[in-house]
A and B are shown apart, each in its own frame.
Chain A
Amino acid sequence: MSTKVTVAFQPVLDKGALLLGGEPHVVHCHYYNHFLQTSIEDAEALYPVEEVLVWTAQEIAHSLFQKLFAEEGITDHERRKALVEAVYTRCGYGKVSLSGISADGGEIATPYEHYAYTYAATFPPRPKGKRGVAYFSQGYLAGAIEAIYDLPLGSMGSQQTACLTQGDAEVRWRFYRLPQPLPLTPSVGEGASQKGTIFQPSTTRVPMAQVRDAVLGLPLLPDAETGLIEAFGVVLTFIPGNYYALISERHLQRMIQVAGEEVRPLVLDMLVESGHVCAFNTLGGIMQSAEWDAVVGPYLDTPEDWLYGITAVMPAIGWGIVGCIEHPSAQKWELCLPNWYETSALAALPPHQRKMEYSPFAEGLFAGIMALVYKAGIHERRLTFDGHLYKQLFQDGRVYKASFYQSRLRGDSRDALTVTSLDA
């Protein structure tokens, strides 16, 4: 029996989405992944953060693999395991073998897991005794195991028992059947998805659809040995967008539950900052890459062309479609976001089940892009993405702020925001 499996994302052009197993997947880098996770982990004394970071991944993986197994018509457990292993690696999460897993659980160990590997290689040591950082994989694999054995969602318990960040040689998780299932809910899948068309402004030569298609064609593939995806100077993952949206939302909910409404700005500020981190690392890396020079470079006449160019990339990495409502300037950039992945996920929840009123990540992201172009001058010079520059752009010298003036999460028909210069 052959266990060779091919995994391919299905681009949905009129949604700016990348589907796999019915789940929209989005590309992010390890800096963003760690910043968001750490922001949530900081609240570990206030509520059990594993219930957000692990359980959310478990819900999504369960739905994803149920659908994927049905789509592929795979009923055999070994073939299902092979598909899970292949998807895990294709998405850049690392390498795992499920050979030691049965319907009762078991152990999975690997030296290559995105969060643990990049943390251990990039950041200083975590304090001894802290749990490992591989929350996402823990939940993802628990949900996958449930789907493999047609178990109910939430019936598989999990625990991370070793981590590279604790000096262990591998990441290891233990999985076990629970007498009572966890209170989990299936993924919203495509959620309240919207359709749109790629935006082609008359004020630029940047061929938006051509750029999107070129990025879709980039081989963002995992390393054969590690299962990690290195590109643009960072390590990338294709993680379901619902995961990011829901952990942000659930973190906000839990924080408000334990500390009251007054904690909202504190949580939102960190989510805005995650957008800055993403703009700086992932998008900054893309805008200085050889691929950018080749695909977009020939059309970059003005600083505004850089804004158009990077928005053309976003549908190809699954974030949704981005339209510029007016020609941007150094003072103002007005955008609409059809099918922005975070709001498509959260708008699918009943209004009383959500606290988020807009995407704070998007606010930080687009303000961050403006800062890269107009303050750092990425169109004029090669930037070094270090702490000094970050401080100049987003801390002492922060000059851009974004705000949603329409949001589907507040009942509007679309998401639209304005980025403005604080100097104006």
Chain B
Amino acid sequence: MTSKCFVHLLQMSTWRNWLRSLISRSDSDKTTARASVPSSKDTPASANILEQTTVDDGISSQEFYPLAPIKRWIGMHISPYAWDRAVIRSLSSLQQTGIPLPLILAPKPDTKVSGAALRILLNSLYEMYGMKPDLRHIFQS
């Protein structure tokens, strides 16, 4: 693939790859993103997500977490669509939490989900973008 078209596309990608945040994840993102990432580097995203993120992701299945600050962090640091996309990708699991969808999409200050549900949501996020929020950082700030 050495055509002029390909070369031009590569050039385009250097100044327009902002769209990466709308599309997919990149291993290279992991080095610059302000996010907690698994320690096993460069593992393809879909393969070992549950295995990676359930080891030490700072989430306790017994606790409940407020959604609003997490959504805000994701909108600021990943992409404004990242939340909606993660919700779509984990919708069937989230519906089992009993929280109405509108509240998940636009959480109120007192909207909380279980650690188990949050983990599913953040795993979807990690699968798409290769990053997820550091909850300790969010709740400290």
Contact = CB atoms under 8 A, between A and B. Distances in A.
Given A129-B44, A226-B5, A124 B91 contact: no
A144 B13 CA distance: 33
A295 to B, nearest CB: 23
B139 interface: no
A34 B44 contact: no
B17 interface: yes
A387 B21 contact: yes
Contact of A123 (B23, B44, B81, B101): B23
Interface residues of A, number: 53
Nearest to A124: B26
Nearest to A394: B80
A127 B102 contact: no
Contact of A266 (B1, B17, B29, B84): B84
Interface in B37-72: 44-47
Interface string B1-41: 10111101110110111111111111111000000000000
Given A124-B25, A262-B102, A223 B44 contact: no
Contacts of A123: 13, 17, 19-20, 23-24
Contact of B88 (A125, A127, A266): A266
A135 B84 CA distance: 23
A235 B13 CA distance: 12
Interface string B81-106: 10011011111100100001110010
Contacts of B46: 127-130
Interface residues of B, number: 47
A121 B47 contact: no
Contacts of A225: 3, 5
B130 to A, nearest CB: 8
A122 interface: yes
A126 B24 contact: yes
A35 B22 CA distance: 7
Interface string A259-283: 1101101100110010001000100
A290 B35 CA distance: 42
A233 interface: yes
Contacts of B95: 259
A138 B49 CA distance: 29
Interface of A: 31, 34-35, 38-39, 42-46, 111, 117-119, 121-130, 164, 223, 225-226, 228, 230, 233-235, 255, 258-260, 262-263, 265-266, 269-270, 273, 277, 281, 384-388, 390, 395
21 contacts: A31-B16, A39-B85, A42-B85, A42-B89, A45-B89, A118-B9, A121-B10, A121-B13, A122-B13, A124-B28, A127-B46, A259-B101, A262-B102, A263-B101, A265-B102, A265-B105, A266-B105, A384-B15, A387-B18, A387-B21, A390-B18
Given A127-B46, A129-B47, 15 more contacts: A39-B85, A124-B20, A124-B25, A125-B24, A127-B24, A223-B4, A225-B5, A226-B3, A230-B5, A233-B12, A235-B9, A270-B84, A281-B16, A384-B15, A395-B75
Please provide the 7 A-B residue pairs with the shortest distance between their CB atoms, ordered closest to farther. A387-B18, A124-B26, A121-B9, A128-B44, A127-B45, A127-B46, A262-B101
